[in-house]
Amino acid sequence: MTSPCDVLHAPSSLFGGNIVYNYCSHGRFQISTVAKSASKAQAGEARGLLTPLRIVDVPVTQDQRLYNEVLDAILDRRLNPGVKLKEDELSDIFAVSRTVVRRALLRLSHDRIVDIQPNRGATVIRPDPDKAREILSVRRLIEGAVIAEATQAATAESLKVLERCVEDERDEVRRQHAGAGLRLSGDFHIRLAALSGNATLMGYLKELVPQTSLIISMYQTPHHTLCSHQEHFDIVEVMKRGDVKEARAIMDRHLQHIEDKLDLVDERIPGDLYAAFAHVKGAEKA
């Protein structure tokens, strides 16, 4: 038996290539396509809509675990933009081969979290303030259309899915798990795009959301705590009423609030890999 978060209209990936990690039930998941019927699947394809997908519990591979750990460290501010992700150090810390490390870094590079240069290795991307403003501006343009289409397409069941996922986001924030809270916050927006059924908008957001999470972790001022979940609850309530105009307005305010909490001047100094992953080496010694 599945929970409301087990089945949703979703892309083939959110963050991290082919998996969705720590979303909703915080389990380890992989996404596989589920078509309710050939006629429905064909009709959806003809309209350019996303195919219904099911999240399936699967074991986490070594490179998936490493991807998650590195992204956690970045979003938790244990690894800052600009730090070099040395293959030999990551291999030593996580007791995996350098091949595994390379696969994880390539996935992070695909999500534009990490930059890989020949003969120079991988570093956490450091988006400058102008780039940050550009990304947030584009998101406001895109998500106005996303929320309008998602509101029109929403059903009672899909709204329950969104609500449950916002509850998970709230719970992580209350536990002071900043990285998980940011991931779930981004997941909410990707789920909205999936609900809209617009594959083009979905593709844009899949690129922009991970970069936004990086920007928030880098530039959000210390006195501002993660509280986007309350605004996410407000968005769901407006969607329940089917008010497209207000849904557009509340989404625009929400994204503006995110930008207002950022200090797009101050940049943090890169950190140390062994310090960032001290909990991993400590766990191995215990």
Domains of the chain with bracketed CATH: 62-126 (1.10.10.10)
220-242 mean pLDDT:
85
- Indicate if the pLDDT at residue 215 is higher than 60: yes
- Indicate if the pLDDT at residue 286 is higher than 80: no
The Cα 43–Cα 130 span in angstroms is 42
Question: Euclidean distance between the first and final Cα of the chain, in Å?
Answer: 37
Report the SS3 class of residue 63: helix
Least confident of 72-76, 116-120, 132-136, 209-213: 72-76
Contacts of 96 (CB under 8 A, 6+ apart): 62, 63, 66, 90
User: Is residue 124 within 8 Å of 113, Cβ to Cβ?
Assistant: yes
Q: What is the pLDDT of residues 139-196, one digit of tens each?
A: 999 999 999 999 999 999 999 999 999 999 999 888 888 888 888 898 899 999 999 9
Greater model confidence, 258 or 275? 258
Categorize the per-residue pLDDT at 271 as very low, low, confident or very high, splitting at 50, 70 and 90: low
User: How many C-beta neighbours within 10 Å does residue 7 have?
Assistant: 16
- Indicate if the pLDDT at residue 130 is higher than 60: yes
Concatenate the DSSP letters of all residues of 266-280 into one string. Answer: --PPP--HHHHTHHH
Q: Checking phi first, is residue 95 left (phi over 0); if not, alpha (psi -120 to 50) or beta?
A: left
**pTM passes above 0.75:** no
- Check residue 266 and give its pLDDT: 57
Residue indicated by tokens 């490390």? 101
